[in-house]
Amino acid sequence: MAIKVGIAGYGNLGRGVEKAVSFAPDMHLKGVFTRRNPEDVKTETGVPVYAMDDLDSMKDKIDVLILCGGSATDLPVQTPVLAGSFNVVDSFDTHKNIPDHFEKVDQAAKKAGKTGVISVGWDPGLFSLLRLIDESVLPEGETYTFWGKGVSQGHSDAVRRVKGVKDAKQYTIPVQEAIDKVRAGEQPELSTREKHTRECFVVPEEGADLERIEKEIKEMPNYFDEYDTTVRFISKEELDRDHKGLPHGGFVLRSGNTGDNHHLIEYKLELDSNPEFTASVLTAAARACARMNGEGMTGAKTIFDIPPAYYSVKSGEALRKELL
């Protein structure tokens, strides 16, 4: 019996989930739920679109709901509420608020006998899993996470908010020299500035003060002031032609030792589409979520709590035979 999936929120991530579910032979997409007027939303695969408010009446028709809203304002509210009626999966990534988010989802889900998998994707998500396994296996050592090269949507948005900026894209770039040091087993202490640089492609409004824009970006607290940032002014045509994708990726490295012997563990992602890959992880986690709920594992869960076999469409026997 196929796992019946709903998608709540239909932006880049929601469209990615729609695609990922279409690759899953054991999942069936029941519908997309939106806060927009459903008649204005057209899905890629023709799956029906409902108003978010229609969710109430579909509690029995959906095994797991994949929440595709943003971490800033959507998920902190939606996930705890919807976990009171559905098995849910989200990609909540505001790091400092994860413990609080976990508690809220845990309470709601446990009360309702539901399962809520939070903070799934690649970071938080797969990278977190690697960090945990790396330090559990090699307790003596250091873990390093590098992001990029890739587009940071939060940083791109921040640049777009600068006065005189018409459009912009920001790339986060890991410092090759820092990665090389870690790979060489040096276990360096690396400052924020030593790990990543930032590159902004900015379309200015006509007549804007470019010097002021550049200065304002480079000095922006939290976003850019701790980094070496390059600002490049380009035309709207160039931006649309050369920077339309949302590639991303990164590394988790563990440099550790067992006494005199050194060991290096490296995990690397190179993603053409950040939202589509994140959606793929969410979809595998949705399978796990539905199964865990079926076996009575309720409450909030993270990637740390999920037995890996639950991600796979294959049986335990097949997994042991083919992949172990």
224 contacts 198 by C-beta, under 8 angstroms: yes
Closer by beta carbon to its own copies, 209 or else 304: 304
Q: Determine which residue in the list 6, 9, 69, 124 makes contact with its own copies, applying CB under 8 A.
A: 124
Helix (H) or strand (E) holding 157: helix 153-160
16 touches its own copies by CB under 8 A: yes
Part of the chain binding its own copies (CB under 8 A), chosen from 53-61, 166-174, 197-205, 281-289: 281-289
Part of the chain binding its own copies (CB under 8 A), chosen from 6-14, 79-87, 124-132, 233-241: 124-132
For the chain, give the longest Cα–Cα distance. Answer: 67
Q: Determine which residue in the list 128, 152, 156, 229 makes contact with its own copies, applying CB under 8 A.
A: 128
Please give the C-alpha separations between residue 204 and each of 105, 220, 307, in angstroms, as whole numbers.
42, 17, 49
92 contacts 66 by C-beta, under 8 angstroms: no
162 contacts 217 by C-beta, under 8 angstroms: yes
Please enumerate in sequence order all residues whose Cβ is within 8 A of that of 137, keeping only pairs 6 or more positions apart, or say none: 265
> What is the rounded CA–CA span in Å between residue 18 and residue 43?
8
220 touches its own copies by CB under 8 A: no
| 75-82 helix and 98-112 helix, angle to the nearest 10 degrees | 20
Q: Considering only CA atoms, which of 86, 121, 216, 125 is closest in space to residue 163?
A: 216
> What is the rounded CA–CA span in Å between residue 58 and residue 3?
14
- C-beta of 15: minimal distance to its own copies in Å? 10
Q: Determine which residue in the list 51, 58, 132, 173 makes contact with its own copies, applying CB under 8 A.
A: 132
- C-beta of 136: minimal distance to its own copies in Å? 4
10 touches its own copies by CB under 8 A: no
> What is the rounded CA–CA span in Å between residue 47 and residue 29?
7
Q: Determine which residue in the list 10, 33, 102, 144 makes contact with its own copies, applying CB under 8 A.
A: 102
272 touches its own copies by CB under 8 A: yes
- C-beta of 206: minimal distance to its own copies in Å? 34
| 12-22 helix and 274-294 helix, angle to the nearest 10 degrees | 60
142 touches its own copies by CB under 8 A: no
Q: Determine which residue in the list 83, 178, 290, 306 makes contact with its own copies, applying CB under 8 A.
A: 306
Q: Determine which residue in the list 52, 81, 98, 208 makes contact with its own copies, applying CB under 8 A.
A: 98
268 touches its own copies by CB under 8 A: yes
Q: Considering only CA atoms, which of 250, 5, 15, 230 is closest in space to residue 123?
A: 250
How distant is the alpha carbon of residue 172 from its chain centre? 15
- C-beta of 258: minimal distance to its own copies in Å? 4
The residue ranges that bind its own copies (CB under 8 A) are 16, 19-20, 23-24, 95, 98-99, 102, 119, 124, 126, 128-129, 131-133, 135-140, 257-259, 261-273, 276-277, 279-281, 284, 287, 302-309, 311-313, 316-317, 319-321, 323-324
